[in-house]
């Protein structure tokens, strides 16, 4: 499959894609990422033992705020009227990590993939910030788009290579 970069003009210069002629459709995107940590850190989050407050609530709010500010953070993103953003964080005791899933939706002329990815990224950073004083081994991993629906290119779902 040959793909072209849509944010480059014929001279190779960056530009914002003109979506004005595209039809308005319902679009949704879901992204996911992990924050890996020590088992003791995960237990401390579960127990609510952080002086800074509720780690998961702060991370969730940070992710939602980030999705709404995506166009301010990513230079060529369109400002979008998002009708829904959710950030879910589940603690995985078997792998000592927080699994962050963000979903964003709208009725518009361009997708919300970047908003969902930004929500996951900033939620992970906020969780990292809240926990860094007790765990220097924290890592943010595997941030990726896992699904998108709507738009001209249709639906897409992440499938790892065999």
What is the set of active-site residues?
Answer: 129
CA distance 122 to 70: 10
Which range of residues forms the domain containing residue 58? 25-157
- Top pLDDT among 136 and 78 is at 136
40-44, 101-105, 133-137, 153-157: segment of lowest average pLDDT? 153-157
Provide the pLDDT confidence category of residue 1 given band limits of 50, 70 and 90: very low
User: Number of C-alpha atoms within 13 angstroms, CB side, residue 33?
Assistant: 25
Q: What pLDDT score was predicted for residue 22?
A: 76
- Top pLDDT among 17 and 43 is at 43
Q: What pLDDT score was predicted for residue 162?
A: 67
Give a yes or no: residue 14 inside a domain: no
Provide the pLDDT confidence category of residue 5 given band limits of 50, 70 and 90: low
Give a yes or no: residue 119 inside a domain: yes
CA distance 58 to 126: 7
Query: Please, what's the b/e burial string for 81-90 (b: 16 or more CB within 10 A of its CB; e: otherwise)?
Result: ebeebbbebe
Give a yes or no: residue 5 inside a domain: no
Give a yes or no: residue 18 inside a domain: no
Q: What pLDDT score was predicted for residue 12?
A: 67
Give a yes or no: residue 58 inside a domain: yes
CATH number of the domain residue 48 falls in: 3.30.70.640
142 Ramachandran zone, left/alpha/beta (phi>0; psi -120 to 50): left
Per-residue pLDDT reduced to its tens digit, 48-79? 878 888 999 999 999 999 999 999 999 888 89
Give a yes or no: residue 85 inside a domain: yes
Give a yes or no: residue 51 inside a domain: yes
Per-residue pLDDT reduced to its tens digit, 73-96? 998 888 999 999 999 999 999 999
Q: Which residues contact 6 (CB under 8 A, 6 or more apart)?
A: 17
Give a yes or no: residue 111 inside a domain: yes
Please tell me the total count of domains within the chain. Answer: 1
């Amino acid at each position: 499959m040959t793909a072209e970069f849509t944010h480059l003009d014929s001279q190779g210069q960056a530009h914002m894609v003109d979506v004005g002629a595209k039809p308005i459709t319902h679009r949704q995107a879901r992204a996911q990422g992990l924050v890996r940590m020590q088992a003791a850190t995960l237990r401390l989050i579960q127990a609510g033992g952080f002086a800074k407050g509720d780690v998961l609530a702060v991370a969730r709010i940070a992710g939602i705020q980030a999705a709404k500010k995506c166009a301010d953070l990513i230079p060529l993103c369109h400002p979008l009227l998002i009708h829904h953003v959710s950030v879910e964080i589940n603690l995985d005791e078997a792998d000592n990590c927080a699994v962050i899933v963000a979903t964003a939706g709208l009725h518009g002329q361009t997708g919300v993939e970047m908003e969902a990815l930004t929500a996951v990224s900033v939620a992970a950073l906020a969780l990292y910030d809240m926990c860094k004083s007790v765990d220097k081994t924290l890592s943010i991993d595997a941030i990726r788009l896992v699904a998108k629906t709507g738009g001209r290119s249709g639906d897409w779902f992440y499938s790892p290579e065999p």
